Each structure stands twice: as C-alpha cells, then as structure tokens.
Amino acid sequence: MRKEIHLEHSSLKYPLPEQFVQELSEELAFMNEYPSGGSYKTLSAKLAEYTDIAPDCILPANGSDEVIESITRAFGNRLILIPIPTFSQYEVSAERNGLNKKFVPCLEGHNYRLVYCEEDLKKASLIWICNPNNPTGSSIPREEIKRVLDIAPGIVAVDECNYEYLGESVVDLIEQYPNLAISRSFSKNFGLAGLRLGFAVSSSKNIVEIARYGQHFRVNKMAERAGIKVLKYLDYFQNIWQEIARTRDFFIAGLKGLNIMVLPSKTNFVLVDFTTEEKARKIWNFLRGEKVFTVAGWEQEFSGLDNQYLRFTISNQEEMSFVLELLKRFPENTS
Ligand SMILES: Cc1ncc(COP(=O)(O)O)c(C=O)c1O
C-alpha cells in the first residue's frame, strides 16, 4: 500500500543524521536531571556562535511559537500590526492575550510587499514581519525592513523561522536598532519540530524583558542537548536545504508547465493559486483521496489567506514528481 504524503506542515521531510540520533538517544539516561534553565548558558553560547552575536542577545525558547507569544505579551500592549496573509500565531497570540491588533493586507496579485503606512507604524507598539513570509514564500527586501525600523518607535519583530532557506538575516542590525527583535527556529531547517526549540535575538535589555514572559525551564533538557549538538551537523543540513531548493524549483516549473499559477518561493513550501475556492476544494479533496495532504486557506493556519490557495511543503524529488503526476491527471486544473 502506498504511504501517505504529508505536505501540510512545513517540517523537514528528511531523516535526522544517524549519528545525531545515536548521540541524542544516549542523552535519555540523563533525563532525571533538570535542564539548565534561565539563560541556558551553554546553549545560548552555541546559538550566539551560530548567529554571530553576543550570548546575552539570545534567549532559547520552547519553539519559535513561544518566542512569538513572549514578544506579544512583552510589547503588544498598545497596537499590534500583522501583515496578511501570514503565519497565524501572531494573531492567535494577540487574541489569547486580549490585545489590540490590526491586519494590513500586503498581497497585491501575487506580489507580497510590506505596505505599512507611517501613521500605523507610529501608533503600534509591536509590528510583525515574517521573512520569508509564510505562506507566500516571499522574501522581504532588507531596505523595506529598515524603513519600518526607522519609522516605528515600537518593537519590530522579524520572524526568521525559515532563515536557513532564504540565507538573509537582519541579525546584524540588532546593535543599530534597539527596537528590533528576531525569532528563529530549529523546526524546519534542523528537523527538530517535535522537540520544540527556537530562540529570540534582540538587545540584551529586550531579552530580559522577553524572558519575563516565559518559564525558568522553558526549554526541556532533551531539546537543550539537541540544540547544543545539532550544529555539528551543519554540513548535512546545508546539503538538504540545497536539495530542497532544487526540488522546489523543479516543482514550480512543473506547475507552470501545467498552467497552474504559483507564487515565487524562497523557502521550503510553495503557495499555489487555483483561482477559485471551488477548484481549490476539488483539488484538495482529490489529493486527499490519493493520500496527499496539503494545507488550504480555509484551515486557519494562516491569517488572511484566501480560499483559492493551497500550500505545498517541499519534500523529496520522488514525492513532488508524484504530486505533479497527480495534478496532471486532474483534468479540470488546467482549464
Ligand atoms: C513563520 C513561522 N514562524 C514560526 C513558526 C513556529 O515554529 P516553531 O516550530 O519553532 O514553533 C512557524 C511554523 O510553522 C512558522 O511558519
């Protein structure tokens, strides 16, 4: 029986290095001990080395979802700006904490641009930027981020959870902009989605503020040990990121060959425009019938995404070729 193909979550669809799994399994014997807690000195030092920043500008967390939650609680007291369509957790965290938010539509045709106006930027206490943006896959030019940082008196939070696919970061601007906070993750790039590990990068002053909203032991011991060890395997993961980028471009070209509209992507997923909700629902159902699972606009994983879109995470060449074959067989999609 053919196995299911899960393209709905954007976790890494490749196995972890065997040696790493072995190293981690040996850590199990030490799970009777507490994690380091607080600033997680050794882990923060590793992350600081990886990010090229001082360790006191780093705060490890239970996934970048926790970073989003803590930043929201620390800085979202007046007004939160959310550039839609985008990742839903900025909205969810704002709602959970009863905070005032404003959606700013940023997708014009298939072009996603930060169109924050000066008036909103001056009023807001927290402004979200997702780079590359989920679900559109768009990268945000550095100059656009700097424009927002220059105008906004509030905190500008840049979610760089998919940084490793894009290869561009604004971490180097932390010193210049005291209003900049960045969120990073180990879920999609280093394959640790199940373990939960992310981190915040900001000025040491902001880091103290963000830390106030999390628990002392916010990262469990296994995730702490994994974060310290996984960076040894950077070469292994870098090869995978390159392979994913090649497969993504192959998939995009295949879609275009079928006259299916797809947004350009700088990450490990692509957003496909099936032009109407009716058609998107038919294709979503057809693919599910073939055991291929994607995420749709109506599933509320994203804020402000129209229902004509489906997002496909990129897995390996074999699975993506199979998905293209299925789409080719679906007669209505090419009309
Ligand atoms: C843009 C973005 N930010 C944050 C997250 C959350 O990542 P984590 O698994 O580190 O909590 C996701 C997960 O899908 C995401 O797409």
What is the band of 330 on the pLDDT scale with cuts at 50, 70, 90? confident
Share of the chain above pLDDT 90, in %: 95
**pLDDT tens-digit readout, 131-167:** 999 999 999 999 999 999 999 999 999 999 999 999 9
**What is the number of the ligand 1 atom nearest to the C-alpha of 67?**
11
Among 296, 283, 294, 284, CA closest to 332: 283
Neighbour tally for 111: CB within 10 Å? 11
How many angstroms does the Cα of residue 259 sit away from the middle of ligand 1?
A: 31
Model confidence at 335, pLDDT cuts 50, 70, 90, reads very low
Q: What residues contact residue 24 under an 8 Å CB cut-off, 6+ apart?
A: 222, 225, 226, 229
Cα 102 to chain centroid distance, Å, stands at: 21
- Is residue 218 within 8 A of residue 41, CB to CB? The reply is no
Query: In the Cβ-directed half-sphere of 21, how many Cα atoms lie within 13 Å?
Result: 5
- Are domains 5-14+235-334 and 29-233 of this chain identical in fold? no
- Could you identify the atom of ligand 1 that is nearest to the CA of residue 62? 11
The pLDDT tens digits for 281-304 are: 999 999 999 999 999 999 988 999
Whether 306 shows a pLDDT value over 60: the answer reads yes
161 CA distance to ligand 1 centroid (A)? 6
Confidence of residue 1 (pLDDT cuts 50, 70, 90): confident
Query: pTM score, two decimals?
Result: 0.96
State the pLDDT at residue 334.
Answer: 45
Instruction: Return the CATH fold of 5-14+235-334.
Output: Aspartate Aminotransferase, domain 1 (3.90.1150)
Q: What is the mean pLDDT of the chain?
A: 96
Name the token pair of 39. 């600033």
The domain spans of the chain are 5-14+235-334, 29-233
| pLDDT band per the 50, 70, 90 thresholds, residue 321 | very high
Report pLDDT for 133: 98
Phi-psi region of 300 (alpha: psi -120 to 50; beta: other; left: phi over 0): left
User: Are 307 and 298 a contacting pair, CB within 8 Å?
Assistant: yes
Q: Does domain 29-233 have CATH number 1.10.1740.10?
A: no
What pLDDT sits at residue 2?
77
The pLDDT tens digits for 106-137 are: 999 999 999 999 999 999 999 999 999 999 99
Ligand 1 binding residues, C-beta < 6 A: 10, 63-65, 87, 130, 134, 159, 161, 185, 187, 193, 198
What is the token pair recorded at 231?
């960076």
Atom of ligand 1 nearest to the CA of 11: 14
Helix H or strand E segment including 157: strand 155-159
Under 8 Å between Cβ of 143 and 167: no
Which one of 91, 187, 189 would you pick to mutate in the ligand 1 pocket, going by the greatest count of ligand atoms within 8 A of its CB? 187
Residue nearest to atom 7 of ligand 1 (CA): 64
Give the span between the Cα atoms of 331 and 312, in whole angstroms. Answer: 19
